[in-house]
Amino acid sequence: MKEIVIIGAGGHAKVLIEALESSGEFTVKGLLDARLQPGSRVLNYPVLGNDDLLWGAQKISPYLAIGLGMIKIDPARKNIFERAREAGYQFPVIAHAGAVVSKSARLGEGVQVLAGAVVQACARIGENTVVNTSAVVEHDCHIGAHCHLAPGAILGGEVRVGDLTLVGLGARILPGIKIGSSAVLGAGSVVTREVRDHQVVAGIPAREMKR
Positions that interact with ligand JB2 (CB under 6 A): 7-13, 32-33, 35, 51, 68-69, 71, 76, 80
Residue tagged active-site, from 139, 142, 146, 198: 139
* Residues 88 and 70 sit within 8 Å (Cβ to Cβ): no
With a CB cutoff of 8 Å and minimum separation 6, the contacts of 127 are 81, 91, 108, 109, 110, 111, 145, 146
CB of 6 to ligand JB2, least distance (A): 8
Nearer to ligand JB2, 132 or 140 (CB): 132
Q: Residue with CB nearest ligand JB2?
A: 10
Q: How far is the CB of 173 from ligand JB2 (least distance, A)?
A: 18
Nearer to ligand JB2, 47 or 123 (CB): 47
Q: Are 193 and 209 in contact (CB under 8 A)?
A: no
Nearest to ligand JB2 of 8, 180 (CB atom): 8
- 180, 164 in Cβ contact below 8 A? no
Nearer to ligand JB2, 12 or 172 (CB): 12
| 142 given a catalytic annotation | no
Rounded to the nearest whole angstrom, what is the least distance from the CB of residue 68 to ligand JB2 in the complex?
5
What's the min distance (Å) between Cβ of 81 and ligand JB2? Answer: 10
Which of 204, 201, 115 has the alpha carbon at shortest distance from 161?
201
- Rounded to whole angstroms, the Cα distance separating 140 from 150 reads 19
Residue 57 to residues 83, 87, 180, 191, Cα–Cα distance (Å): 15, 10, 39, 48
Q: Which residues are catalytic?
A: 139
